Structures are given as C-alpha cells and as structure tokens.
Structure 1
C-alpha cells in the first residue's frame, strides 16, 4: 500500500535511507511525467511545478555569482536581520552544532549573509555552493529551505529528493521566513541544514518557533523606537496649535494633538519635507524630526452639520460621539474630561483656564492642571474647540444626554460647579 507524504516524513526519522529511496523514485517519476508511487507533499509538488514552468534544470545545479565580501558586509550592516541574529544564535546554534547542522540566514533576495555551525557540515555546504553571498532563491537553485519558504511565506522542510536539483538530494533543510512586524514585509529566511542522515521531524517546528521569537524581538524594538520618538514629540506638540501628529519613517504614530488618534498613516517610503498630500489626511506639511516626521494637516473648516453628542447618562461610562461631513467617531471619556466637556457645553461662550479651575477645583490658581487636561482633550477634539477662552466652535451643534435622575450627573465629581447643578441638571 502506498504511503502518504506524512508517513514518509515519519519514516525518515527511523529509516532515513528507505525514505530517501522512496522520495527519489517519486521525484524521478514525477519529473519524467510517469505515474509516481507516491504523490509529493503539496508544498513540494507546487514548488516542483514552479520549477518546471521556470525552466530550472533538475539535473544540473546553477551557481550564480557570489557577492563580494564587501557587499555581504554592506548588506549585513543595513539589514534588519542583524538585530535578531543574537536571538537566532541562542535558539539554534547550540543544538545545530551537536546535531551536525548549520544555521543559515539569508536576506529577502535569498542571498546568504550568515552561516554558522558544524565545521564539517560547513565544508559539505561549500560543495553544494551553499556559501556566503550565494543566491539561494528558488528560481535559481530549485526547491530548498531558503528559497521555498521565501516564496510560500511559511515554514518548509525539504528532505532529500524533495530538493528539485538532483545534487542536493544528500541534504536536508528546514527554513522559516522572517517578516518585519511593522508592515509584514519579508526581510529574510532562517534555515537549519545538514546531511541527509541528520533529519528529524521536529526540526521544522523548532526553527519556526525561533523565527517567531526573532519577529517578537523586532516588534519589541519597534515599540521602543516609538517610545523614544514620543519623548522627542512631546515638547514639539506642546508648542503647537491645531492638528499635528508625529510618526516614524514607516508612518506609525508616536504622538498626536488636536485630532483623533490614528495608529498609522500612509507615509511615502521616502517622504520629502514640505507640502505633501497624504491619504486620509489631505494636504499636509511634513517636517523631519529625530527618528521620524512631524505631520501637520492643513487647517480645514469644520464640515457643515458637525455635531457632538456628550453622553453622560450611564455612571462611569461617559462617551463622546462626533459626526459630520468627514464621517463619525466616538471615544470613551475619563472622569476629568467628562467634567470639562460638560462645563464647556453649559458655557458655550467659553471659559478661561482660571475660570475652569474655579469651577472644577474651586481654586482659580489651578490653571496648570486645567491647561494640561485641555491639551489632552484637544488631541482628539482640537478641530471642534477654540481656546482663549476654551469653548466649542460656534458652528458645531452640541447635545448633552443627561441621566434620568438629575442627582446622577457625574456622581464621581467633586467639582463645585457640577455639584451645584445636580438636582436641577438640564441639557444646554
């Protein structure tokens, strides 16, 4: 009875030679158009089909020109892979060396940038052209543990004659793609390879788990870079009126003022300083900052029919709904912001920082605290607010939804002005 591809993988762990012979028969029959005793695994069969369509010669390996040592070093220094190399080494090298394997790291173009592990296996790899600077793309050297994961964008183990090129049939490899968590872009492949007899079914899961650890490290580094950019952005945004945001080179937002938070904007790969038009923001001015860009959308009038609903009906679940020609959005409010916006809704003529301090704290000297809180409010509501004094814009309709029981108005609040309105609360 014919074995399934999964059975062959399991068989290889206990009888490598027999599994290799079976796969050799499958490969020969498949590539010659004859009926094979066993179908190749789908990921391998699909790769073979790609190789046949692209004209890769299964009986002769092709070794394109190696990169120079200088070019390998240049790519190492500019690749994001350099940041995760310690993670890959820690997770793979100690076991790989004992198991007579090598670890290979290639960039997104399939060029081998690092090889480490068993000296004996490294010499065998040299004989296959698996060298530093070598081009190991699938369309160049056939089905393999570097090029095939790069094409499929998933971990792939290639055992013995599953390699498309005959001379690689003494080799086994397991590779996993490495992607940039910021944009999902492929940045390279990590591969563990070795002689045929060193194959183990668990190798692929091991390599994949270490690749995921490396990607987690890249995510952590990205968050750290945003924190550094946020520190740069804070004093810059504090001096600005109107809408602005600070983003990194990939458009990820570090800080925002005067507008709703947007996780990421569509920033060109190489933005130019000065006037730009960005998707979702329209006309903008872009200025460079250390580690990112300051983006200032052009001031535009609040659309006709803009409406704000301040919902204070539910204890400790206060919210703001904004709608207008540009769409609608909502936001949950902190207790302090619910107080401030309620008071501004009551006093449509506006309140100074000292006036709000007296109404909220009973102390006109608490202006620093009020200004800090209003600065936070303006980060998401800036286009609908004026300042000096603080007030809603005259062309914005404001509705306040109050609790059925007037005594339930902002029950947490100790603000003198709010307390004085309980029991007789009315919508402005």
Structure 2
C-alpha cells in the first residue's frame, strides 16, 4: 500500500485506513526515526520535533509511563489554586456526554502536566490506571515523552497524538487530543484539556471539539473578568476624582478600571510580590500603592532626582521550556515580568543585536518578511508599555546604559521551542 508522506493533516488520511493498518504505518515510521534512519513515510513535523526533544532529554522509549502521584493534600491544593476548577462544570458539560458515548475519557491537567481531574467511560478509566493516567500523575514531555497533554503544553497549542506517534511504546494502544487553556487576564498557561481513549476510537474531529471547549473555557474566564473590573470601577471612580496627579486603579492582574491625570493604559504588569507601599514599576517609575476592594490604587510619584528608578541590569531568562521572563533591576529595586512568546523573540533578537534593529530588520528576523513593519511596531509598542525604561527606539534596542544578560536553555536546540521566527531557528543550529 502506497502512503504519502504525513503532512500536518496526515492523521486525516490515516483515518481512512483500517485501524490496525494505520498503527502499523506509524510504528514503522517511529522505529525508523528512533533508529536514526530515514523512514519511508515522514512523521508529521509536530511529532518529529517532539521526538527529537524527548530523545535529547534521554527518555527510554521502552519505559513505563508510571510516575509518582501527588500526595492527596498537594493534589487538593492544586485543584483549589487553579482557575480551571471554576471552569470544570462548563468543561464537563461540553465534553462528558461525547467522551462517554465514544468510550473515551476527559482529562484536565495543570500547567505542569499533573492530572487534576478525569471523567468519562468507567472501563476506559480502569485501563487508564494501567498507564498511570490518573489523578496526580505527571504527563509532561519531560516525564512521559510525546503525548497529547505534554506536547500541547510544550507547544502551547492544540495537538493530536495517535498510536505509535507516542514516544513511549506503552501508549501505542492509545489516541489523545489535547488543547491548552490560557488565562485571558494575564496570558498564563493554566493547563490542558485532553480526550483520550483506545487507538480504535481515533477521529480527526476530536481535536476540533477539544479546542472549542478550551476556547469556551477561556471565554467564560474573560466574561467573569469583565464583570470584576466593572465592580472595581464603581468603587475606584469616586476615589480617583479626589486624587491629584497621575493615578489609576487596577485589578490584581494589572487591568485598569479607572485612570486620572494620564493617558489610559492597556494593562499594568505587576510583579508577583506586588503589595501596598512604595513600589517601582518600569512603565511608570516609583509609585505609591494602596489596596482597594478587588484591586489596587496606584499613584505615580514624581522623580525626586536624576536617575531615580533608572534600570541598570536586565536578565532575559530563556532557560525554561514553556515560560520565559525578563527581570529588570536598578537602584529602586527589582521587577520580573513573564513574557509572551512574541516578546521573548523580540528581546532575544535585541540582546544579540545591541547596536539595534530597524523595523524592517526585525520583521525579517521574526517573520522572514521585511515588509511586516506595522506588526513589528505594534509589538514593540506593547512591549515598551511594560519596559519603558529598558527599550529605546530609532533603532529599536536596549538602552545603552543597561547591562543585558541572557540565560539560555541547556541545549541550543531548545531555545524558544515554540518559535518559528527565522532568527530563532537559526540560533538553534549554533553549536553548544
């Protein structure tokens, strides 16, 4: 039987084959790839990249998928701490009837790939116990190799993994489709919604279903957030009417509810340790912060002398596989901001080119297209709202007086693994 190379839609073509035939095709692809040969049928790019990552980690493809379960107290703590708990009724309503009818299970994990909840067909859940797909188990790529949950976390986008596309042989009888859920209030990854079952239950539409449920969960969080900001606005507006100078009221995620004496801001990035008192913020300088019901009153202080609050050092931490951050420090203190994937790419390119880059050069670096200058200018503008004292323009660059340190991943090939920017893919090929 002649099979075309598997492109990103290759699973749809395999679904036309008998289940056993499809499994054999994927098994031959995997075996050839792991042996260092060239398979007659190329794996899908997303699977090939994942296999390469887990081989670098050193995972044994013949190991079991068992992991040490979280203690009951820690599991309950994680369930209570995540916003996914609030969304569980909506998630279950969207999926549970379908997964039960198709003899599958629904799994919800946190951002580390730890299983928090699962539900669905009882027989399938008993089989899932045999591969440790149970509450408290670890399902990141680092612990379990290529799988729907771990690979979706790694890529921060929906992914379907079928049969022998799983790196560990124990999972070849399974199929899974998973989609990450992000918190619209701060962009942070909350976890993953996954549907898993026997490989004979595979259907390419499952991925679209899981993704739609994940998007509905994010929409519900967004609606709740809008209502909370409205409540804060009703409290803060009378207060701001009596405050002189520049001030704003923000919620606990930095979203403004009201502002006075200054142009409106989209969002004020807040450090994790943010609290009442005098606080230095890179986008505003020194501020006086007071608590409000559901947020904070932030009053901007005028600088008392030259250089107050100036940034002296920036640490760009790219060592994590999923999270990246920038830490800025100076005489007034230290502040850490978690970066979006695009902003991490931008700061990395500017750290390499301290002399600066034009909008056209950055467009080529990020998109391979020098004409996409409007997109670049918009992204840099958003980034400068967070790091106003760090970045200069004409050309875009780190401020001359700022010391910049980049903390790279252990292996160059793991640099911003989600990125397809030409400058990043070229950097991954550099020798260690």
Assess same fold via TM > 0.5. yes
Give the secondary structure class of the aligned counterpart of 2:213.
Answer: helix
State the match for 1:2 in structure 2: 3
Give the secondary structure class of the aligned counterpart of 1:146.
Answer: helix
Question: Are the equivalent residues in 2 in contact too, given 1:144–1:163 (CA < 8 A)?
Answer: yes
Alignment of 1:59-70 (within 5 A): 59-70=62-73
Give the secondary structure class of the aligned counterpart of 2:119.
Answer: strand
Q: CA deviation at 1:62?
A: 4.2
State the match for 1:112 in structure 2: 115
Partners of 1:300 and 1:71 lie apart in 2 by 45
State the match for 1:124 in structure 2: 127
Q: 1:175 aligns with which of 162, 174, 178?
A: 178
State the match for 1:21 in structure 2: 24
Partners of 2:65 and 2:126 lie apart in 1 by 18
State the match for 2:217 in structure 1: 214
State the match for 1:240 in structure 2: 243
Runs of 4+ in structure 1 deviating by more than 3 angstroms, as ranges, are: 6-9
State the match for 1:161 in structure 2: 164
Alignment of 1:365-384 (within 5 A): none
State the match for 1:45 in structure 2: 48
TM-score (ref. length: structure 2): 0.67
The number of residue pairs the alignment matches comes to: 301
Question: Are the equivalent residues in 2 in contact too, given 1:159–1:196 (CA < 8 A)?
Answer: yes
Question: Are the equivalent residues in 1 in contact too, given 2:179–2:210 (CA < 8 A)?
Answer: yes
Q: Which runs of 5+ in 1 are unaligned?
A: 302-428
2:301 pairs with 1:295? no
Partners of 2:237 and 2:138 lie apart in 1 by 46
Give the secondary structure class of the aligned counterpart of 1:82.
Answer: helix
TM-score (ref. length: structure 1): 0.68
Q: Which runs of 5+ in 2 are unaligned?
A: 305-432
Partners of 1:10 and 1:200 lie apart in 2 by 11
Partners of 2:123 and 2:129 lie apart in 1 by 10
> 1:344-383 CA deviation, whole Å, 9 max, x = no partner?
xxxxxxxxxxxxxxxxxxxxxxxxxxxxxxxxxxxxxxxx
Partners of 1:14 and 1:83 lie apart in 2 by 40
Partners of 1:14 and 1:110 lie apart in 2 by 32
Question: Are the equivalent residues in 1 in contact too, given 2:65–2:170 (CA < 8 A)?
Answer: no
Q: Which moved more, 1:128-137 or 1:217-226?
A: 217-226
Q: CA deviation at 1:70?
A: 1.9
Q: CA deviation at 1:14?
A: 4.7
Q: Which is higher, the Rg of structure 1 or of structure 2?
A: 1
Alignment of 1:126-145 (within 5 A): 126-145=129-148
Q: CA deviation at 1:235?
A: 2.5
Partners of 1:80 and 1:294 lie apart in 2 by 25
Flag the 1:217–1:270 CA change in 2: closer, same or farther, 3 A. Answer: same
Question: Are the equivalent residues in 2 in contact too, given 1:249–1:269 (CA < 8 A)?
Answer: no
Question: Are the equivalent residues in 1 in contact too, given 2:65–2:168 (CA < 8 A)?
Answer: no
Partners of 2:283 and 2:115 lie apart in 1 by 40
Q: CA deviation at 1:300?
A: 6.7
Flag the 1:234–1:8 CA change in 2: closer, same or farther, 3 A. Answer: closer
State the match for 2:34 in structure 1: 31
